[in-house]
Amino acid sequence: MLATVSIKGQVTVPKAIRDHLKIEHGTQLDFKLNDDGSISVRSLNRSALSIVGLLKRPGRAAVSTGQMNEAVADAAVDRLQRSRKTK
């Protein structure tokens, strides 16, 4: 596949490659210059939703996104209340 470098040094990744690597707006790419002069590119970012369920905890129930959000909100409230008490 062929791509052309723009005057700004930008390259459009061909659609077939974007689709195959699931590259979308905001995805970070890691470029590596190989000893033979070729370039390797790999996608670094994956959304949090794409890794849900990868880490299974035997004997423990799964935690939903809602439960995680609730825990974060509770922690934020606790932290705010503690900070008000120290002032």
Would residue 7 count as lying in a domain? no
Would residue 6 count as lying in a domain? no
User: How many angstroms separate the CA atoms of 11 and 17, rounded?
Assistant: 13
Domain range for 21: 15-85
Residue 69 has pLDDT above 60, yes or no: yes
pTM of the model: 0.45
Amino acid at 5: V
Domain count, the chain: 1
Would residue 35 count as lying in a domain? yes
Would residue 10 count as lying in a domain? no
Would residue 1 count as lying in a domain? no
Only one residue has tokens 């996104």, namely 65
Residue 78 has pLDDT above 70, yes or no: yes
Across all residues in the chain, what is the average pLDDT?
Answer: 83
Would residue 3 count as lying in a domain? no
